[in-house]
Amino acid sequence: MIAETRIALKNAGKYKPEDISTYIDLGGYKNAEKALKSKPEDIINWIDEAKLRGRGGAGFSTGQKKRFTNEAICDKCLQKYVICNADEGEPGTFKDRIIMEMDPHLLIEGMLIAAYAIGATKAYIYIRGEYTQSISKLHIALKQAKEKGFLGKNIFNTGFFLDIEIKLGAGSYLCGEELTLLESLEGKRGYPRIKPPFPAEKGLFGMPTLINNVETFAHIPYIIEHGVEHYRSIGTENTPGTKIFTISGDVKKAGYYETSLGVTLRELIYDLAGGIKQDKKFKAAILGGAAGTFVDHTVLDTPMGYDLLKERGAVLGSGAIMVLADDRSIFEMTYSILDFFKHESCGKCVPCRVGTTQLLLLMNQAKHTKSDRIELLNKLLAEAEYMDQTSLCPLGQSPILPLKSIKQYFESQF
Ligand SMILES: Cc1cc2nc3c(=O)[nH]c(=O)nc-3n(C[C@H](O)[C@H](O)[C@H](O)COP(=O)(O)O)c2cc1C
Ligand code: SF4
């Protein structure tokens, strides 16, 4: 029977988020003090050696990102920025909200350490406007951290300065994508930018910018406190540490669970989430949200890690797991995912604007006629493949992911 291992949620429920003294009593801000009294290069090395990978979905190395931002050289660089991506728009994902509501100071501490490591003096938390509880907790926490001298001028008498500001998003899924987020933060319409340049080189207002997810920042104080070796002893060789999984759908105990990476889907569903509702049979799980993948029972015992899942044609993504019992329709789930993409397409480029509409049109035609579903799936795949190759940003490149996995695991049931 698997149990939870908590890093990002280690303080959840243990202190009052509205009262900074209760966080300090737990040893809060001690890791920031240790970090700010170390060399920035050492911090980057520790995070790199710990093999911390971004928890926002793509799993990119956090240490490397920091190194690129730290080393970014440009003649007119007046400022470097740190941005916390708290947009949390991926369907089925509700982990960042828990950290912000239950442990806002851990996020602030992680951002403070990251800002010092890359030499940024201004940071933003970009958060979806619907997260009213998180926003109010963060406002209080930022005010109290400033009053205590953990933000503002001369932090821990080191001469280091940091200001953190909250900016609200308006609920667009695409604004969670880092380059679109930058446009939105600059006050522009939420349209994506072309990569390169990457944010580390030219980010917010054209300045070097480090962008990480809430959960990623929440791991940093732990690495500073416990060291690289200990961190790497948790999880798998290529993906050390823990991950918060948000399990929803046909399970008895839907919710958030933080475990070591390498846990299996079976352990998450049956040990932690209590098994399938009404003791029905497991049919499928959708891993990583809408821009994720369907898997069947043959993946139940595959350890959850970015690379291990990739070998099975699946993704870990944001950690969302939607579970479907055997009476659910794969066709209906596909319909809702494609409907979501059509709704969220920003319309800037033709392949995605027309493509997402076309995918739904094909599904609607099939709903009302007795068409050959295997032929339909092949048509959808051809369209999504074309979108993948020609769309301007990752949103238009996403529908291929669930469709390919349906072909791999559920062709006969589609
Ligand atoms: C359409 C789309 C939506 C995204 N939404 C989010 C989001 O809500 N939160 C998030 O952290 N990352 C999101 N991402 C990933 C970000 O672009 C980026 O990779 C991430 O913020 C980097 O942080 P990390 O390295 O800590 O994971 C999204 C990506 C895409 C393509
Ligand atoms: S791929 Fe879709 S979301 Fe991205 S720019 Fe094109 S239309 Fe907009």
Flag whether pLDDT at 74 surpasses 80: no
Omega before residue 208 within 30° of 0, cis = no
Query: What is the model's pLDDT at position 100?
Result: 98
For position 234, what pLDDT does the model report? 98
The neighbouring-strand residues paired with 61 are 53
Split at pLDDT 50, 70, 90, the class of 73 is low
Question: Between residues 187 and 67, which one has the greater pLDDT?
Answer: 187
Instruction: Note the pLDDT of residue 370.
Output: 78
Q: How large is the greatest C-alpha to C-alpha distance in the chain, in angstroms?
A: 73
Residues composing the chain: 414
Distance 319 CA to ligand 1 centre (A): 12
Tell me the average pLDDT across 7-14: 98
- For ligand 2, atom 8, which residue shows the shortest CA distance? 346
State how far the Cα of 127 lies from the Cα of 85, in Å rounded to an integer: 7
Mean pLDDT of 3-8: 97
At how many degrees (to 10) do helices 400-410 and 330-344 cross? 170
Which of 178, 244, 348, 387 gets mutated to test ligand 1 (max ligand atoms within 8 A of its CB)? Answer: 178
How many other β-carbons are positioned within 10 Å of the β-carbon of residue 208? 26
Residue 361, pLDDT score: 96
Write down the pLDDT at residue 76. Answer: 60
- Nearest-atom number in ligand 1 for the CA of 174 is 1
**Which residues surround ligand 2 with Cβ inside 6 Å?**
174, 192, 345-349, 352-353, 391-393, 395-396
pLDDT digits 0-9 by tens, 193-203 = 998 999 999 99
316-320, 339-343, 351-355, 372-376: range with lowest mean pLDDT:
372-376
Mind listing the pLDDT tens digit for each residue in 128-169? 999 999 999 999 999 999 999 999 999 999 999 999 999 999
Strand 209-213 with 81-86, pairing: parallel
Summarize pLDDT for 251-290 with one digit per residue, the tens. Answer: 999 999 999 999 999 999 999 999 999 999 999 999 999 9
The chain-wide mean pLDDT, for the chain, equals 95
User: What's the pLDDT at 75?
Assistant: 58
Would you say 231 and 241 are in contact if contact means Cβ atoms under 8 Å apart? yes
Cα–Cα distance measured from residue 340 to residue 337, given in angstroms and rounded to the nearest whole number: 5
Most ligand 1 atoms within 8 A of CB, residue of 60, 65, 83, 90 to mutate = 90
CA-nearest residue for atom 20, ligand 1, is 56
Position 77 scores a pLDDT of: 67
β-pairing verdict for 81-86 and 293-295: unpaired
What tokens does 314 get? 């699946």
What percentage of the chain reaches a pLDDT higher than 70?
99
The number of the ligand nearest the C-alpha atom of 288 reads 1
Question: Which ligand 1 atom lies nearest to the CA of residue 53?
Answer: 25
* C-alpha of residue 274 to centroid of ligand 1, in Å: 30
pLDDT of residue 72: 73
- Cα separation, 20 vs 22, in Å, equals 5
11-37 pLDDT per residue, tens = 999 999 999 999 999 999 999 999 999
Return the pLDDT at 66: 77
Tokens 């823990």, located at residue: 242
What 8-state DSSP symbol labels residue 345?
-
Considering every ligand atom shown, identify the ligand nearest to the alpha carbon of residue 353 and give its number: 2
CA distance 399 to 337: 8
**Residue ranges of domains in the chain, CATH in brackets:** 20-232 (3.40.50.11540), 242-325 (3.10.20.600), 330-413 (1.20.1440.230)
Instruction: Supply the pLDDT for residue 95.
Output: 98
The predicted-structure confidence for 308-338, as pLDDT tens digits, reads as follows 899 999 999 999 999 999 999 999 999 999 9
- Residue 179 Cα to ligand 1 middle (Å): 9
How much distance in Å is there from the Cα of 349 to the middle of ligand 2?
A: 5
In ligand 1, the atom with minimum distance to the C-alpha of 178 is 17
Ligand 1 first shell, C-beta below 6 A: 54-58, 60, 85, 87-90, 173-174, 176-178, 211-213, 216, 394-395
pLDDT above 80 for 225: yes
Which residues neighbour 372 within 8 Å (Cβ) at sequence distance 6 or greater?
Answer: none
Residue 412, exposed/middle/buried by CB under 10 A (0-12, 13-18, 19+)? Answer: exposed
SS3 state of residue 95: coil
Distance separating alpha carbons of residues 189 and 212, to the nearest angstrom: 21
Q: What is the CA radius of gyration of the chain?
A: 22
Q: What is the mean pLDDT of residues 232-250?
A: 96
Q: Would you put residue 395 in left (φ > 0), alpha (ψ -120 to 50) or beta?
A: alpha
